[in-house]
């Protein structure tokens, strides 16, 4: 019974630390990195392709 109680306490600590991460500054930094990465993917791949399509239409 004591071992089960210790496992429940450990799971509770992990869930609290995860909720603290989501509620705190860490999640904001994580989303900022994702948004920045998506922007560079769009700028790096989509814009040159769009320019290529425009040039191929006119020439």
DSSP 1-59: -HHHHHHHHHHHHHHHHHHHHHHSHHHHHHHHHHHHHHHHHIIIIIHHHHHHHHHHHH-
What is the pLDDT at residue 33? 95
Predicted TM-score of the model (pTM):
0.55
What is the pLDDT at residue 3? 75
Q: Domain residues of the chain, as ranges?
A: 2-58
Give the residue-averaged pLDDT of 49-56.
92
What is the pLDDT at residue 21? 79
Q: pLDDT tens digit string along 9-40?
A: 777 777 788 778 788 788 899 999 999 999 99
């Amino acid at each position: 019974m004591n071992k089960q109680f210790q496992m429940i306490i450990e799971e509770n600590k992990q869930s609290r630390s995860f909720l603290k991460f989501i509620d705190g500054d860490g999640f904001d930094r994580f989303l900022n990195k994702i948004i920045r990465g998506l922007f560079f993917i769009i700028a790096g791949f989509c814009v040159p392709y769009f320019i290529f399509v425009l040039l191929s239409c006119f020439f």
